[in-house]
Structure 1
Amino acid sequence: MSDVDNATGKNVKYVPEIKGTLRSHMINIPEVIRNASGIKVFGKRLKSFLFTTDIAVIKNTNADAIMAVYPFTPQPVITKVLVAASDVPVFCGVGGGLTMGKRVVNLALDAEFKGAMGVVVNSPTSNEVIEAMRDTIDIPIIVTVVSENDDIQKRIEAGTTIINVAAGKRSAEVVRKIRKKYPEFPIIATGGKDEKSIKETIEAGANAISYTPPTTSELFGVTMEKYRNMAMESDKK
């Protein structure tokens, strides 16, 4: 038995899907992300990275992995909780912006000990820190780049495992330029919120997509509106 892939028009194998009654309401990543090649990390093929630190979201998503990066100084206790809560691999932010130097290396080692599958550093991170991390940890180092003007070659030489392109609306363009020069180097990229931009980013050469889900307040707003409508209907009876 097979289905037709809406994106490619090709026949694909039928995949049985099991859903629970209580967990059927969850955050599903856009189906178009499945067209990405994925990146194999320790034998696991990862195509979709959910960009969140919300434990409720982490427990209710079908993403392949979690990219847990937040705009505060990274703390080991946060890494511990995120890794423990997740059913899928977690890639933890360990600084590189507000947090610099040896502390980044120590946080990366701690993240590895706590079970993170990889670590993520921000674009200001120096190549010297990346080199020190590479000498210390055995898990992938994901380095964020925000422009094609970043010295990608130096990043790779320093020990970067995966490039994470976060260039906003220009992400697809930046991916395309990096991919032209580095045809096989692993690239994750932000794909935007609509399927058209995600598809463009994948076609530009991204192996995997980082997807930002709706916030819990946005999701709960929809639920509360449903409850209010139900209450109004009940009052009319």
Structure 2
Amino acid sequence: MGKYVPEIKGILRRHMIHLPDVIREASGIRIFGKRLKSFIFSTDVAVIKNTNADAVIAVYPFTPQPLITEAIVMSADIPVFCGVGGGITTGKRIVNLALDAEFKGAMGVVVNSPTPNEVITQMRDTIDIPIIVSIVSEHENIAGRIEAGATILNISGAKRTAHIVRKIRERYPNFPIIATGGPTEESIRQTIEAGANAITFTPPTAADILSEIMIGYREKYAKEQTNE
């Protein structure tokens, strides 16, 4: 029989982004004493402040900037893992951005799939926080990533994510893995069963949420107008 968990909600914070409960079935990854199972994929500080996720993965498709890292870390009340490049941005700049992210309070850094192993090694020699390396295919040199200094693998293979996780888990039964769970509870459960320790979740955008709220407002006023 599961333990009863009392839940306390504020009047003004009831409207927030709740991640799927199935994510709690994951084992989680204990980082600096904190057990993290759910990661919200967002750089929107309003979304980050209104979610029940355990942590944030803040990766964006632009050149990483320390000011953005600082804004996200300062506004979040949960651990933040910041993207520091690895695609367009590479070399010494990534190492410097990673060190800056650590100094600003990030719990870890995330590098893109194209990041050279020698850069990961330089980062490992420079920073003390986890290095999360993104993986998009089971055919990548996983052993090389681990030997270079990767702390956690972040599997992002779209519909093939669970398959990639399973293949990597067969070779590395205990190495920490975060993976995208997909849009449904079933796809999330499949990813967990394949061996993911934690799940990243992409929330609806603030614009989508606001659109739903505005629809509700319009329907309310339309109903009131009909009743008059």
Q: Normalising by the residue count of structure 1, what TM-score does the alignment of the two structures yield?
A: 0.95
Aligned to 2:201: 211
Aligned to 1:57: 47
Q: How far is the alpha carbon of 1:30 from its aligned partner?
A: 0.3
2:118 aligned partner, one-letter code: E
Query: How large is the RMSD of aligned CA atoms in angstroms?
Result: 0.5
Aligned to 2:139: 149
2: distance between equivalents of 1:178 and 1:44? 25
Tell whether 2:204 aligns with 1:233. no
Tell whether 2:92 aligns with 1:102. yes
1:224 aligned partner, one-letter code: M
2: distance between equivalents of 1:115 and 1:73? 20
2: distance between equivalents of 1:12 and 1:47? 18
Percent sequence identity over matched residues?
A: 67
Give deviations 1:71-119, integer Å, cap 9, x for gaps: 0000000000000000100000000011000000000000000000000
SS at match of 2:175: coil
4+ long deviations beyond 2 Å: none
1: distance between equivalents of 2:123 and 2:92? 9
Give deviations 1:162-205, integer Å, cap 9, x for gaps: 00000000000000000000000000000101100000000000
Aligned to 1:117: 107
Matched ranges for 1:16-31 at <5 A: 16-31=6-21
Q: How far is the alpha carbon of 1:217 from its aligned partner?
A: 1.2
Q: How far is the alpha carbon of 1:218 from its aligned partner?
A: 1.0
Tell whether 2:159 aligns with 1:169. yes
Aligned to 1:48: 38
Q: How far is the alpha carbon of 1:137 from its aligned partner?
A: 0.1
Aligned to 1:4: none
Aligned to 2:27: 37
SS at match of 1:29: coil
Q: How far is the alpha carbon of 1:229 from its aligned partner?
A: 0.5
Matched ranges for 1:124-135 at <5 A: 124-135=114-125
1:164 aligned partner, one-letter code: N
Aligned to 1:70: 60
2:204 aligned partner, one-letter code: P
SS at match of 1:12: coil
1:181 aligned partner, one-letter code: R
Aligned to 1:223: 213
2:179 to 171, 174, 189: 189
Q: How far is the alpha carbon of 1:235 from its aligned partner?
A: 1.2
1:157 aligned partner, one-letter code: E
1: distance between equivalents of 2:56 and 2:26? 17
